[in-house]
Amino acid sequence: MSNSHRIEAWGFSGGIWLLWRNNVCVEIKLQHFQFLHFSLRVDFGEMEFTGVYGSPQLAMHCYLWENLCQLASYVQSPWYVAGDFNAILSADEIRGSTTSLRRCCRRFQNCMDTCSLEDLGYQGPQFTWHRGLVWERLDRALANQSWLQTFPSAQVFHLPTLCSDHCPLLIDLGVPQQPVPLQGLPFRFQIGMPQCLVVLFAENGSS
């Protein structure tokens, strides 16, 4: 399929599928089994995005945190990171279970601190994943200071679930406050109105 890039699922879970329109130009920069990193250009400059699918195997999380920290040392543009991290940051991001408290990972917060990433918050339901009586906030959007300064009015919305036990994230970019220095990449696109990104992570199974 043209205008797409896919990281295949491992077994019955995982997988990331990036799709874009004809008027959008994307450069894939790095592929990891738990994330896809790419850059794109708009009228006001270049941005970098990382789509994440954290492994449900907790032992694999250390590779995600380590590689994101290494990636951060190379990112010089506004940077946005979003997806299913399969991890939480605090106990109030769980309802209906105590066993999932093991996902409350200090290393996740340490990774965010090392990468200088901040949680963008959300509008809508508190939790993004559920199974039975267990609800958790496993999906989120993060950004560095350069991105936050470029999109000070950006908002993240938790949309209703459709065919997955995860809810999609809708990111309304708002209007950029100031230009971003161009990096000389040979492509560009215009974001339509309203300025939004929809983050959908294709999963063959559940977290």
CA distance 172 to 153: 8
Provide the whole-model pTM.
0.81
Task: Tell me the domains of the chain and their CATH numbers.
Answer: 4-199 (3.60.10.10)
Residue 130's SS3 state is strand
pLDDT of the chain, 207 residues: tens digit per residue:
678 888 887 665 667 888 877 777 889 999 998 999 999 876 666 799 999 999 888 888 999 999 999 999 999 999 999 999 999 998 889 898 766 555 567 899 999 999 999 999 999 999 999 888 899 999 999 999 999 999 899 999 998 887 778 888 998 888 655 555 544 433 322 223 234 444 443 333 444
Strand extents, DSSP E, 43-122: 45-53, 79-84, 94-95, 118-119
Structure tokens at 173: 């970019």
Structure tokens at 192: 């339509």
